[in-house]
Amino acid sequence: MRAIVGLGNPGEKYEHTRHNVGFDVVSLLAAKLNTPIKKLKFQGVIGETQLAGEKLVLIKPQTFMNLSGLTVSDALNWYKMKPEEMLLIVDDIDLPFGQVRVRPKGGPGTHNGLRHIVQMTGTENFPRVRVGMGAPPPGWDLADWVLSKFQTEEERKIAFDAYMLAADAALCWAEHGIETAMNRYNKRHAE
């Protein structure tokens, strides 16, 4: 069994912002897998499907980003999963815009959603797909930057291509494991 959790903030105000990469990538996965994400569970919405003969759960926490650990810890406990069986999809300001990076585990860095997950579960052993948003431009507050939307057609195209790459990396992880996903997708940029 595997689970893919896309981090984001619920509500129209936050739709398609830089911080909601996880939600957008999980929506792409739901479309690719023809799996509606509607069932309310773990203070989130989930969709369950099969991939390569194994159960796969897609999860979007409906707590705010800073409380993502509530959904993650509840899902881990309910499904009796190890952290290594749950992939997190997150935005990352330390990666160049459009770059996708797959990691087997790691610290939360400046990401408050990851920080809460580590707090709630007591571990950093979650595989993750990080999607680069780039650092805030001079004069921008970090919170304003991650909660902003893409301004130009070019930015939207780079973001969409990166999200598609992240979705492919997540499916690769679910079917073939972390090493294969890292080898195929690390340091790739959206074209």
SS3 33: coil
> Global pTM?
0.95
In the numeric block, the tokens 């579960």 are attached to 121
Q: What is the pLDDT along the chain (191 residues), one digit of tens a residue?
A: 999 999 999 999 999 999 999 999 999 999 999 999 999 999 999 999 999 899 999 999 999 999 999 999 999 999 999 999 999 999 999 999 999 999 999 999 889 999 999 999 999 999 999 999 999 999 999 889 999 999 999 999 999 999 999 999 999 999 999 999 999 999 666 55
Closest of 9, 10, 16 to residue 159, by C-alpha = 16
Domain count, the chain: 1
Q: In what order do the strands lie in the sheet with 128-132?
A: 39-41, 44-51, 54-61, 2-6, 86-92, 128-132, 99-103, 188-189
Give me the active site residues, please.
19
What's the CA gap between 143 and 52, in Å, rounded? 39
What's the CA gap between 87 and 1, in Å, rounded? 12
Domain at 181, CATH number: 3.40.50.1470
Containing structural domain, residue 16: 2-189
**Per-residue DSSP letters for 86-140?**
EEEEEEETTS-TTEEEEES----TT-HHHHHHHHHHS-----EEEEE--PPPTT-
Query: In the numeric block, which tokens belong to residue 144?
Result: 């304003």
Report pLDDT for 187. Answer: 64
Please name the amino acid found at residue 138.
Answer: P
Per the CB < 8 A criterion, the answer to whether 83 and 126 are in contact is yes
